[in-house]
């Protein structure tokens, strides 16, 4: 009976592992302005849920809070004020860069997709990422530069289990987990 219960638990975990999760990134910062650009792969771009031409998706975007809206700029042009901005990965290897400008901070690279809105006068940045890519980012963020392979294996099991057990921690806020240590430290692509 114990083996059967373990089998069903693992089966459930594996079925969830293939899914995407929504992780709030830059959650410990009050970000008012940031640059977004493609790092690898290709993307579709949506502004106010309207798909933009492919030529727009390759731009460097500067997003800034103006009142309760997003001001979106590309080099040489201001696109206007909007309620939402989203880039959606076309391939599994797609990644994007985000560089906070106000306040100034280092550039981070994340896998898959990104949605940005304004909440409480700040940018709300949500990374939609496959669970296994999230786990890889958490393992590096939580563990640092250790070299023991077995350590990383155990850490990956712990990170995945914790994520699955706390998946709805921030559901009322519109995302699954955040990148803060009370969920798990997540600084993006390892």
Check whether 14 has a pLDDT greater than 90.
no
Check whether 150 has a pLDDT greater than 80.
yes
Check whether 55 has a pLDDT greater than 70.
yes
Q: Chain-wide mean pLDDT for the chain?
A: 90
Q: Per-residue confidence at 18, pLDDT binned at 50, 70, 90?
A: low
Q: What is the DSSP letter of 31?
A: -
User: Measured between alpha carbons, how far is 40 from 51 in angstroms, rounded to an integer?
Assistant: 20
CA distance from start to end of the chain: 39
Cβ within 8 Å of residue 95, ≥6 positions away? 38, 39, 40, 41, 89, 109, 110, 111, 112, 189
Strand partners, 117: 84, 124
Higher-pLDDT residue of 148 and 131 is: 131
- What's the pLDDT at 11? 41
Please give the structure tokens belonging to residue 69. 């809206």
SS3 per-residue string spanning 43-88: EEEEECCEECCHHHHCCCEEEEEECCEEEEEECCEEEEEECEEEEE
Q: What is the pLDDT of residues 153-184, one digit of tens each?
A: 999 999 999 999 999 999 999 999 999 999 99
User: Measured between alpha carbons, how far is 46 from 48 in angstroms, rounded to an integer?
Assistant: 6
Please give the structure tokens belonging to residue 153. 């294996």
Q: What is the pTM for the complete model shown?
A: 0.88
Cβ within 8 Å of residue 109, ≥6 positions away? 39, 95, 96, 97, 188, 189
Please give the structure tokens belonging to residue 63. 């997003």
- What's the pLDDT at 116? 98
Query: By percentage, how much of the chain surpasses pLDDT 90?
Result: 79
């Amino acid at each position: 009976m114990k083996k059967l219960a373990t089998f069903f638990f693992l089966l459930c975990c594996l079925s969830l592992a293939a899914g995407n999760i929504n992780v709030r990134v830059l959650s410990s910062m009050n970000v008012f302005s940031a640059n977004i650009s493609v790092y690898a792969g290709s993307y579709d771009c949506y502004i106010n849920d309207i798909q933009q031409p492919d030529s727009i998706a390759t731009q460097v975007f500067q997003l800034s809070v103006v009142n309760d809206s997003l001001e979106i700029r590309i080099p040489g042009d201001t696109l206007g004020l909007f309620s939402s901005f989203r880039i959606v990965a076309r391939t599994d290897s797609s990644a994007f860069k985000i560089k906070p400008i106000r306040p100034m901070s280092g550039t981070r690279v994340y896998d898959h997709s990104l949605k940005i809105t304004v909440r409480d006068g700040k940018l709300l940045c949500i990374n939609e990422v496959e669970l296994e890519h999230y786990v890889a980012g958490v393992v590096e963020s939580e563990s640092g530069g250790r070299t023991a392979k077995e350590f990383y294996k155990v850490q990956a099991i712990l990170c995945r289990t914790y994520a699955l057990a706390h998946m709805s921690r921030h559901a009322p806020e519109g995302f699954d987990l955040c990148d803060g240590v009370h969920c798990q430290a997540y600084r993006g692509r390892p």
